[in-house]
Amino acid sequence: LTVQYFERAVFEWHPEAPAEWRVQLRRLGAETTRGRSDQAFRPTPPIESVACQYFLETQHNLCSGFRAFWERHGALRIFGYPISEELSEDGLTIQYFERARLEWHPEARGTHDEIQVTPLGAWAADRIGTARDPLPQPPGVPVFDPERFPGAPALVRTPPAGAPVQETKWIEVDLSQQALRAWEGDRLVFSTLVSTGLPQYPTPVGTFRVYVKVRYERMRGGTPGIDYYDLPNVPHTMYFYRGYALHGAYWHNNFGHPMSHGCVNLPLDAAAWLYDWTPLGTVVWIHP
């Protein structure tokens, strides 16, 4: 096989497979746990909870934060089935999957670093002695620039003054940070970079409530010949004030910067998570 090692995975090229499966992640989770028979790896009955999903294929549960991360970041296609229950290793709560090991870092609660993928790719490279020496930059190949990729919003652990902390669930849109945060009372449960309205199309400031949810929406607006847009199948749309909505955006990846005609654009995985988490009537609090 043609392979390439990364910190957290090994990519394999399978030219005989259907197009969408030609690049596959090696089954590193299964490799690292081969032969283990401790309690967490034994077949387990289903956990009776709406926060959990049970997999008959491996007879293991997937719950809460690990489940949300698994669903948002590729699910079966990327991680494979769970092959253990949650357990404690190296002082962390972790869970093994066919192709990965997930770790929970409570000190990073509410940020993109709360759930992390263990660097099993580096482990696999070291195990077989794969060369990891740096190479010179080939002519014409650009240098990786992290500024081209969306990062994580600033870490916030307590709600700002004036926040609607009396609400069971509420959504904060921070225009100055171009960030969205989901709260349960005064506890942060999720955050992501977003794109709100451009200066000429400002996102409204104030306290609103989600009044309509549409899984896929067609959005049209603007002036023909100037800024007209017609966007089919805009995913996970939640209207909170007139025609203003929170929704996924598939047409750009410039989150962290104003881009919209007033709506709040979210990365696709974040929009999917927020849509499932948000009941009708949820407060949306937008502030400068």
What pLDDT does 151 receive? Answer: 66
What pLDDT does 201 receive? Answer: 95
Q: In the beta sheet, which residues pair with residue 209? A: 283
Mean pLDDT value across the chain: 92
What pLDDT does 169 receive? Answer: 97
**What pLDDT digit, counting tens, does each position of 211-256 carry?**
999 999 999 988 888 888 899 999 999 999 999 999 999 998 889 9
pLDDT for 59 beyond 70: yes
pLDDT for 285 beyond 70: yes
Q: What is the mean pLDDT of residues 268-275?
A: 90
What pLDDT does 154 receive? Answer: 72
**What pLDDT digit, counting tens, does each position of 6-45 carry?**
999 999 999 999 887 899 999 999 999 999 999 999 999 9
pLDDT for 112 beyond 80: no
Percent of the chain past pLDDT 90, that is, above it, reads 72
Name which residue leads in pLDDT, 143 or 288: 288
What pLDDT does 74 receive? Answer: 81
* CB neighbours of residue 40 within 10 Å: 19
pLDDT for 164 beyond 90: yes
Question: For residues 13 and 1, is the Cβ–Cβ distance under 8 A?
Answer: yes
Question: For residues 235 and 118, is the Cβ–Cβ distance under 8 A?
Answer: no
Delimiting residues of CATH 2.40.440.10 domain(s) in the chain: 170-287
Q: Does domain 170-287 bear CATH number 3.10.100.10?
A: no
What pLDDT does 46 receive? Answer: 96
Q: What is the mean pLDDT of residues 159-181?
A: 96
Name which residue leads in pLDDT, 69 or 38: 38
Backbone phi, psi, residue 72, to 5°: -75, -25
Question: For residues 191 and 215, is the Cβ–Cβ distance under 8 A?
Answer: no
pLDDT for 149 beyond 70: no
